[in-house]
Amino acid sequence: MKSIASSVTVIVAIAAALTLTGCADAVGAAPVVTPSQSVSTAAGPTATPLTSAPPTPASLDQLHQEYTASGLSCEWVVTENVMSGTIASGRCTDSENGISTFATQADVDALLKLNSDSIEPGLFLVGTRWVVGSEHPQDLVKAQTTMGGDLWPTDSAFFVDQ
């Protein structure tokens, strides 16, 4: 029992240190440490999993600033959320590129799955609970330099040539 308690104490200490030192990426990804074991006590097993709070989504304003920091122009307007799971959405009126933040990463995954199944799949830059959509792959590649994220779909001929 002492070794389990010691292990739990070490895991909690590491998680607390990572949280306090801000060991997360620029758009709010969760710390790398994610304990997956349950804790037992001397009184008997209690399935008390160690969990951490979900990452805070990047604000739409922050994402817009990172987008324009890449050198892309964007006459910005906040729009109504038209996709399931979105927290906030906006678009660049001069290019029709759009940025959306989502409540969960599962909501992002659902959007990408729905998009994969469509007749004309779109192109996206995907981050932690956010997506930038565009019909211009070069804009997504350029935005990635300041925003991070992954180009999607990864096997798109549009991105292979970039």
**Tell me, what amino acid is at 50?**
L
> How confident is the model at residue 111, as a pLDDT?
93
More confident residue, 100 or 27: 100
Contact 118, 125 (CB under 8 A): no
The band of 104, judged by pLDDT with boundaries at 50, 70 and 90, is very high
The band of 55, judged by pLDDT with boundaries at 50, 70 and 90, is low
Tokens of 102: 């989502």
Tell me the domain boundaries of the chain: 2-49, 60-160
Q: What is the pTM of this model?
A: 0.63
Average pLDDT over the chain reads 72
Q: What is the DSSP letter of 156?
A: -
C-alpha to C-alpha distance for 158 and 19, rounded to whole angstroms: 38
Least Cα distance to 90 among 127, 59, 60, 129 occurs for 60
Q: Omega of the bond prior to 153 within 30 degrees of 0, cis?
A: yes
